[in-house]
């Protein structure tokens, strides 16, 4: 279902022309007072209307024909702006380093919007996003900029640690296991967000999280029945957690907790995962108010608030995360998502994607 891979900024460029493939990068920023930003830039985003249907009909286009930008902004835990904008291939460009030793930046252009990731050292880089967007409801122009200085996370535990380095995590069919890629990319850092719109200017700072995901195989063929994923900022660390259930119900669920610091990435394998009674969103999407992980390295409780974004195939909520380790208890806020891949691009779900879920 999911393969956790070492952190690298790029994904294979050849996949852009592979029919049915997908590539996306995701930047989240969580700020004070319920402010949050989700920025995704992608080729062949599975949520685009018609894309997974064409894959299911065995006639998918290459991702290069379906470039897109997705932005969701919350203020005080309420959505204030959301859009999913598609572009013509001729309006988009991806420039990237051509090999080892090439220090050229990654530069993505989507119409008048640009995202540039420039290396500053072997592991460090500067990200600048300058986005020119349009409100899908009012058609008003919305300008958004994001600045971030970051470093790729370490893939090894420090010398003397009793926890082994992160393994390759995969339960994909064998033909896909070496090709699907998902990786949280960066050490804990902050980003500066500035919104410029008709309602005024809104600058703010928050904890940043960046990952990418891609596969030469269609998203609908990865065997995921239900996926829950989230991350939470702590002082000096980023916590990432996920649960995934296979379409093959004879297989056990896949669940991991990643603890990312300045010096290490620890991957925990909880022994027990719990959830309370199933709830249904407004359009029938299942979710849970309480999730728990228990293992030898501590306990994690996730208390999920009512969904702030709701659709037939996905939910997004804020959550309180409580991490217990021996006598230490840490608390943080999280954004958590629930996704049912087989519901994507079916019937009513297409309407929600067009409005920018």
Q: Cα–Cα distance between 67 and 17 in angstroms, integer?
A: 12
> Own/partner pairs for 252-257, CB < 8 Å, 24+ apart?
254/1, 254/2, 254/169, 254/171, 255/293, 256/4, 256/169, 257/293, 257/295, 257/300
Q: What confidence tier does 161 reach under pLDDT thresholds 50, 70, 90?
A: very low
What's the confidence (pLDDT) of residue 345?
85
Q: What is the DSSP letter of 312?
A: S
Sequence-distant (6+) residues with CB within 8 A of 206 are 29, 30, 31, 32, 35, 36, 37, 190, 191, 193
Q: Is the pLDDT of residue 35 over 80?
A: yes
What's the confidence (pLDDT) of residue 349?
54
What's the confidence (pLDDT) of residue 298?
86
Tell me the CA end-to-end span of the chain in Å, nearest whole number. Answer: 24
What's the confidence (pLDDT) of residue 241?
94
This prediction has a pTM of 0.90
What's the confidence (pLDDT) of residue 185?
96
Q: Which tops the pLDDT comparison, 353 or 171?
A: 353
Q: Cα–Cα distance between 214 and 179 in angstroms, integer?
A: 8
Q: Is the pLDDT of residue 205 over 80?
A: yes
Q: Is the pLDDT of residue 83 over 70?
A: yes
Q: Is the pLDDT of residue 115 over 90?
A: yes
Q: Is the pLDDT of residue 291 over 90?
A: yes
Average the pLDDT over 210-230 and give the result.
92
Average the pLDDT over 178-206 and give the result.
89
Q: Is the pLDDT of residue 154 over 60?
A: yes
The region of weakest confidence among 140-154, 176-190, 249-263, 295-309 is 176-190
Exposure of 261 in the CB half-sphere (CA atoms within 13 A): 9
The region of weakest confidence among 48-62, 92-106, 118-132, 341-355 is 341-355
What's the confidence (pLDDT) of residue 111?
96
Burial class (CB in 10 A: 0-12, 13-18, 19+), 296: exposed
Residue 175 backbone dihedrals phi, psi, to 5 degrees: -70, -15
Q: What confidence tier does 271 reach under pLDDT thresholds 50, 70, 90?
A: confident
Q: Is the pLDDT of residue 216 over 60?
A: yes
Q: What confidence tier does 348 reach under pLDDT thresholds 50, 70, 90?
A: low
H helix intervals, the chain: 51-56, 174-177, 349-354
Q: Cβ distance 56 to 220 under 8 Å?
A: yes
Counting runs of H as helices and runs of E as strands, what totals does the chain give? 3, 24
What's the confidence (pLDDT) of residue 239?
95
The region of weakest confidence among 31-35, 267-271, 298-302, 331-335 is 267-271
Q: Which tops the pLDDT comparison, 3 or 280?
A: 280
Q: Where are the domains of the chain?
A: 13-354
């Amino acid at each position: 279902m999911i393969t956790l891979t070492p952190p690298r900024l790029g994904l294979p460029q050849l996949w852009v022309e592979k029919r049915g493939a997908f590539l996306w990068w995701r930047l989240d920023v969580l700020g004070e007072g319920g402010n949050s930003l989700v920025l995704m830039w992608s080729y062949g985003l599975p949520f685009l209307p018609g894309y997974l249907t064409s894959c299911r009909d065995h006639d998918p286009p290459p991702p290069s024909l379906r470039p897109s930008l997705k932005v969701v902004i919350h203020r005080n835990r309420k959505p204030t702006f959301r859009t999913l904008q598609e572009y013509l291939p001729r309006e988009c460009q991806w420039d990237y380093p051509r090999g080892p030793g090439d220090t050229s930046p990654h530069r993505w252009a989507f119409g008048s919007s640009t995202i540039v990731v420039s290396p500053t050292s072997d592991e460090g880089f500067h990200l600048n996003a300058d986005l020119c967007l349009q409100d899908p409801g009012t058609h008003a122009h919305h300008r958004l900029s994001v600045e971030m200085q970051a470093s790729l996370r370490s893939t090894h535990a420090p010398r003397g640690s009793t926890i082994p380095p992160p393994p390759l995590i995969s339960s994909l069919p064998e033909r896909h296991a070496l090709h699907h890629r998902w990786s949280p990319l960066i050490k804990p850092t902050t980003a500066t967000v500035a919104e410029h719109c008709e309602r005024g200017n809104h600058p703010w700072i928050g904890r940043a999280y960046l990952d990418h995901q891609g596969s030469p195989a269609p998203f609908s063929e990865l065997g995921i029945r239900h996926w829950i994923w989230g991350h939470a900022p702590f002082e000096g660390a980023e916590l990432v957690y996920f649960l995934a259930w296979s379409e093959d119900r004879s297989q056990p669920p896949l669940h991991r907790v990643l603890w990312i610091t300045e010096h290490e990435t620890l991957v925990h394998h909880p022994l027990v995962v719990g959830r309370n009674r199933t709830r249904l969103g407004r359009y029938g999407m299942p979710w849970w108010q309480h999730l728990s992980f228990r293992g030898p390295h501590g306990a994690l409780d996730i208390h999920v608030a009512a969904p702030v974004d709701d659709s037939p195939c996905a939910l997004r909520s804020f959550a309180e995360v409580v991490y217990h380790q021996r006598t230490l208890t840490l608390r943080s806020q999280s954004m958590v998502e629930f996704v049912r891949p087989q519901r994507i691009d079916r019937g009513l779900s297409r309407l929600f994607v067009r409005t920018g879920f």
